[in-house]
């Protein structure tokens, strides 16, 4: 059985979660393992999923409400031991400084450019799977 990379996708919007899945595809790049998704619509679900599952990368929607992805990122970076890399979806390129404040490992603008998103996700999967190896 081929190993997979587990990607947690957090957004209060089901269509945003779907866009993430579609942009990533089954495998965001040829040199990374296939990805499986764990979807969360609330902060408590994110925290529970991180506690109960091995997660390789988190994709957090910066526009989610009431808990925005950037605040969630900062919280999990502080509270989760061996926190996986985080890719934050930002509403505007000018919000990149907020992604830096949140300690996100990468940021892409929403609506998603599938190529840019897949490239950013693949880079974080590479980092995490190299650490695990």
Q: Stretch 61-84: mean pLDDT, rounded? A: 96
For the entire predicted model, the pTM comes to 0.95
pLDDT band at 10 (very low <50, low <70, confident <90, very high): very high
Contacts of residue 105, defined as CB under 8 A and 6 or more positions apart, other chains included, come to 85, 86, 87, 124, 127
CATH number, domain with residue 46: 3.40.50.2300
C-beta separation of 55 from 82 below 8 A? no
**pLDDT digit string (tens) for 73-122?**
999 999 999 999 999 999 999 999 999 999 999 999 999 999 999 999 99
Provide the domain count of the chain.
1
pLDDT band at 129 (very low <50, low <70, confident <90, very high): confident
Contacts of residue 81, defined as CB under 8 A and 6 or more positions apart, other chains included, come to none
**pLDDT digit string (tens) for 15-30?**
999 999 999 999 999 9
H or E stretch covering 22: helix 14-24
**pLDDT digit string (tens) for 97-110?**
999 999 999 999 99
Three-state secondary structure readout of 38-50: EEECCHHHHHHHH
Q: Could you tell me the residue range of the domain that residue 97 belongs to?
A: 5-132
H or E stretch covering 129: helix 114-132
Q: Where are the alpha helices (DSSP H) in 25-113?
A: 43-52, 69-79, 96-101
Tokens describing residue 98: 């907020």
């Amino acid at each position: 059985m081929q190993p997979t990379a587990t990607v947690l996708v957090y957004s209060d919007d089901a269509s945003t979660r779907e866009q993430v899945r579609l942009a990533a595809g089954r495998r965001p790049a040829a040199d990374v393992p296939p990805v499986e998704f764990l979807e969360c619509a609330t902060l408590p679900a994110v925290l529970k999923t991180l506690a109960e599952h091995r997660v390789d990368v988190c994709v957090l929607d910066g526009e989610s409400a009431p808990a925005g992805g950037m605040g969630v990122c900062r919280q999990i970076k502080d509270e989760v031991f061996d926190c996986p890399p985080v890719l934050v979806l930002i509403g505007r390129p000018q919000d990149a400084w907020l992604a830096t404040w949140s300690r996100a490992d990468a940021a892409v603008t929403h609506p998603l450019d599938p190529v840019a998103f897949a490239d950013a996700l693949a880079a974080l999967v590479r980092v995490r799977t190299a650490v695990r190896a």
